Amino acid sequence: MGYRNTRECLEALEAGGQLVRIDKCVDAKLEIGAIQRRVFRAKGPALLFSNVRGCRFPMAANLYGTRERMRFLFRDTLETVERLMKLKLDPMECLRRPWRYLDAPRTAWHTLPKKVSDGPVMANETVVSSLPELQSWPMDGGPYVTLPQVYTEDPAAPGFAGSNLGMYRVQLSGNDYVRDREVGLHYQIHRGIGHHHAEALRRGEPLKVNIAVGGAPSMTLAAMMPLPEGLAEIFFAGALGGHRIPMVMRPGLLPIPAEADFCICGTVVRGGEKSEGPFGDHLGYYSLAHDFPVLKVDRVFHRDDAVWPFTTVGRPPQEDTLFGGFVHELTAELVPSVFAGVHEVHAVDAAGVHPLLLAVGSERYVPYAAERQPQELLTNAMALLGNTQTSLSKYVLIAAREDLPHGVGCHDVPAFFRHLLERADLTRDLHFITRTTIDTLDYSGISLNQGSKLVLAVAGDRKRELAAEVPPGLDLPRGFRDPVVFAPGILIVKGPKHRRKRDQQDPALERLGDMLAGVSGIEGFPLVVVADDAGFTAKDWDNFLWVTFTRSDPATDIYGAGAFTHAKHWGADKALVVDARLKTYHAPPLEDDPEVEKRVDELGAKGGPLHGII
């Protein structure tokens, strides 16, 4: 049976030597988050902080910090859930191998939440200001809940079947929030809570919201799952947890997870938006302050032995990276059933997840054609941009499975890029979608939630040899220098500081493209990236992916060597030029506090609780 609460989980990890207790007094402002990030990078154990300055509740971190620990926590149910995922893909599998699905009825029973009248979480009441006040980064607008389980129900059809359990940002104090009475509720576009909020507004009713912290680990994972609309995450939590999730039913309140450590109950009312943020987010930058809904706090519950689980987010990889990888393990075989013709997808964590999606699809529309070109792939790409969380992707790079060498897929990023660049017809294969919705956290666009997308679809024979040396005699325009070959076909150039306004192209980049069009051998570099620091960008694939795809908006920041527009189709004869400099309007990147890092170093010194770990 899966773990039912945080204490069970911590005791099991400690018994297995996978948890370290830190009794030294630590500060939830900056210090404790820096410790978690350092231990995560070291692939270290889970952490239990028993002495948090100014707070009576212990805090727990890095519970999901390694792939092995994730699988350990769900070891009793993971195989059954994976089998059920496969059963959805191929229902006949149950008839061919019925002995593998003997647990299926019991798992189906576990999906149904259990209604109870009381539970450990209801033992005590407190106020918001008594909760742990985690601030992860120096410019954060206040303390945040970083592993919340935000529960809502459809006002038009209350009940578990129409519920949503999501992990949305919760700011506990700061800005203009009324202390103890208001918290910020930041949810991005394309999230299930949005449908419930829209229905409540339509009906002229407040939206009831519960924010649980802790409890069954399966509830935390379910809150992160990108499940299709109409499939309640709480059902998945029961299947993965190996037990029915007990939910406390009280008059006037939404159902409350009985085994949660904490639960904040409140309502969102019309017209109550306030400034939320800044917040150091998972793209590696601060998301800035913007108006978002406010939760009017009614009550705050906690259990007797409450522990506050948390994580910190920032430039990947971080702990949430492993959540994404774990979800991919569970759902990889389902991709073809959701996206017909798509065989594999990779939302690239190093690029911040939504900015870059790599995919493998079929190209079968005209098998008899003398020259194979992307056709079915474009249908596949549009499907990816029209469904689930892949719809938030900014760059979609898709290749035909029929052309890929054996063993190469989109998770082999260097090989996949090489395959794309060898075969891309830059006059034909680029497809822009302008002035559309993009990820709320992506500041490369023309406004909040608005920017552009690019589909690069590649099929057919190899069209060029990729170069591995800077073209001889390359003479760059004034302000551009330090050309460096990052990988075959990819050239990185240092550019001048960006000085343009939002939603403007830069004439300097246009001049660079015009100059490159006349350079002999530039066709061997179909991708030229302009960055603030060429050496940093070229250091490794993580840096290249992060800089290139988080700092560029396709429509605004792509130029070309031999660029042209014909009948509203844009292409380039020789090379793409991507402006990946930090722009005047971009959010600042995250940086550690040096003084805090020194204090973390002391914990790792000889005699410290983290000696030999960090």
Largest CA distance in the chain: 78
Do 306 and 384 lie in one domain? The reply is no
Residue 523 main-chain phi, psi, to 5 deg: -65, -15
Residues 279 and 188 in one domain: yes
pLDDT band at 105 (very low <50, low <70, confident <90, very high): low
Question: In terms of C-beta density within 10 A (0-12 exposed, 13-18 middle, 19 or more buried), how is residue 23 classed?
Answer: exposed
Confidence label for 99 from pLDDT (cuts 50, 70 and 90): very low
CATH of the domain at 194: 2.30.110.10
Residue numbers of the domain that contains 358: 319-458
Mean pLDDT on 181-194: 88
Domain shared by 497 and 428, yes or no: no
Instruction: Indicate whether 543 belongs to any domain.
Output: yes
Q: How far apart are CA 530 and CA 537, in angstroms?
A: 9
CA-to-CA separations, 598 to 592, 595, 601, in angstroms, rounded: 11, 5, 5
Average pLDDT, the chain: 92
Provide CB contacts within 8 A for 424, sequence distance 6+. Answer: 456, 458, 463, 526
Determine the average pLDDT of the residues in 423-448. Answer: 95
pLDDT digits (tens, 9 = 90+) for 143-152: 999 999 999 9
Query: Which tokens is 164 given?
Result: 């949503």
The pLDDT, as a whole number, for residue 95 is 40
The reported pLDDT for the residue numbered 230 is 64
Domain annotation covers residue 537: yes
> In terms of pLDDT, which residue wins out, 614 or 337?
614
Listed residues 310, 342, 358: the one ending a domain:
310
Q: What is the pTM of this model?
A: 0.92
pLDDT confidence of residue 50: 97
pLDDT for res 324: 81
Euclidean distance between CA atoms 410 and 545, whole angstroms: 14
Decide which of 458, 490, 516 is a domain's last residue: 458
pLDDT of 94 strictly over 50: no
pLDDT in tens, 226-257: 776 667 899 889 988 989 999 999 999 999 99
Question: What b/e readout covers 61-96, taking b as 16+ CB neighbours within 10 angstroms?
Answer: bbbbbbeebbeebbeebbebbebbbebeeeeeeeee
pLDDT (tens digit per residue) in 27-44 = 999 999 999 999 999 999
The mean per-residue pLDDT over the stretch 194-206 comes to: 94
Q: Strands (DSSP E) along 245-341, which ranges? A: 246-248, 256-257, 262-268, 274-276, 279-280, 286-287, 290-292, 294-302, 308-310
Whether 454 and 485 map to the same domain: the answer is no
Indicate if 179 and 258 belong to the same structural domain.
yes
pLDDT of residue 80: 75
User: Is the predicted pLDDT of residue 101 greater than 70, yes or no?
Assistant: no
Lowest mean pLDDT across 299-303, 432-436, 469-473, 564-568: 469-473
Q: In the numeric block, which tokens belong to residue 303?
A: 């259990």
CATH assignment of the domain containing 337: 3.40.1670.10
Provide Rg for the chain, Cα atoms: 25
Whether the CA torsion 211, 214, 218, 221 is positive or negative: it is positive
The verdict on 270 and 388 lying in the same domain is no
* Number of domains the chain is built from: 3
Mean pLDDT for the stretch of residues 358-377 = 93
List pLDDT tens digits, range 557-590.
999 999 999 999 999 999 999 999 999 999 999 9
Phi and psi at residue 111, in whole multiples of 5°?
Answer: -70, -20
Q: For residues 200 and 136, state if they share a domain.
A: yes
